A and B are shown apart, each in its own frame.
Chain A
Amino acid sequence: MNREQFIDQLNRSLRRLPNEERLDIVQDFQEHFDIGLEKGKTEEEIAASLGSPAQIAKELLAVHYLDKAEAKTSAGNLFRAAWAAVGLGFFNIVIVLGPFIGLASLLLSGWAMGLSLLVSPLVVLLNLILSPKSFDLFASFASIGLAGLGILMSIGMSYVSRKALKGFVSYLRYNAKLVKGGLKHE
């Protein structure tokens, strides 16, 4: 692989990064080639010892998405960060995807429960509209009680979600640090 091919492939693998950051990264490698050439190496030698541009890009993308997930925790960012971490290796499919799915389903079920409690008075109301004769004092009060429980649970869940997502992001960061192949893969 020569210089142009290396830079080309790196550029292509990094196309999802913001332009400014991508150019900055490419500049680092241009500098590396420039100095290597001054020292009398050939483009091919330099490219060969740098390693695969795709692998380098993978590590750069993982770092980038983690920063983004940390700056603003949205579902999309978090998913992209998890996905980038998974991209670092098959090993990570178990280490990252497992906890991610577990955490996501736990949060989802918590929210579903809170919300369904919250709407229980509506069900009683609907029942009343459909068959006015079936009015049941106990059901009405019970549903209001349940709705109160639902409100508490939703508040609790939003707190838990925030904490859990934050925790997961730092887990990803730790994982990326640990798993990324910093040196030659053997």
Chain B
Amino acid sequence: MNIQFKKGVLELCVLVLLDKQDRYGYELVQTISEQIAISEGTVYPLLRRMTKEDYCTTYLRESNEGPSRKYYRLTDKGRTYLRQLKEDWQAFIHGVHQILREGVHDE
């Protein structure tokens, strides 16, 4: 798949996952890579950028199983951004779907 395209999709996935609940990095990476083939390490630069752009904040929380984990929490600004990205995505998917269907008809 095209790199630019995947980049935007990855951001959308992270935002959606954080919308439901706060998560730590490893959890985010695993949840996404169960569904899509990604270089897992690139999620961390993305999380840093999103934190710098105030789409999310971070906090540390102790874990029963080991050392404390860095959790990411979506901000209001992040939620607004997510809404907009979702709309863009749906319009895009709808357009592609339309073209695919028409292509099949013509054959």
Do A and B pair up? The answer is yes
Using a CB–CB cutoff of 8 Å, the interface residues on chain A facing chain B are: 25, 27-29, 31-32, 34-36, 38, 49-53, 55-56, 59-60, 63, 67, 177-186
Shortest Cβ gap from A124 to chain B (Å): 54
Q: Is the CB of A32 within 8 A of B42?
A: no
Q: Is the CB of A60 within 8 A of B48?
A: yes
Q: Is the CB of B3 within 8 A of A63?
A: no
Name A32's closest neighbour in chain B (CB-CB).
Answer: B26
Q: Using Cβ atoms and an 8 Å threshold, which residues of chain B touch A186?
A: 1
Q: Is the CB of B40 within 8 A of A63?
A: no
CA gap between A28 and B72 in the complex, in Å? 12
Q: Is the CB of A56 within 8 A of B42?
A: yes
Using a CB–CB cutoff of 8 Å, the interface residues on chain B facing chain A are: 1, 3-4, 6-11, 24-26, 29, 33, 36-42, 44-49, 52, 65-67, 69-70
Q: Is the CB of B66 within 8 A of A38?
A: yes
Q: Is the CB of B25 within 8 A of A55?
A: no
The number of A-B residue pairs with CB atoms under 8 Å apart is: 102
Q: Using Cβ atoms and an 8 Å threshold, which residues of chain B touch A60?
A: 44-45, 48
CA gap between A145 and B24 in the complex, in Å? 67
Q: Using Cβ atoms and an 8 Å threshold, which residues of chain A touch B49?
A: 63
Shortest Cβ gap from A92 to chain B (Å): 12
Q: Using Cβ atoms and an 8 Å threshold, which residues of chain A touch B25?
A: 28, 31-32
Q: Using Cβ atoms and an 8 Å threshold, which residues of chain A touch B46?
A: 182
Q: Is the CB of A38 within 8 A of B65?
A: yes
Which 6 residue pairs are nearest across A and B when measured between Cβ atoms? A51-B39, A182-B7, A50-B41, A183-B6, A59-B45, A35-B26
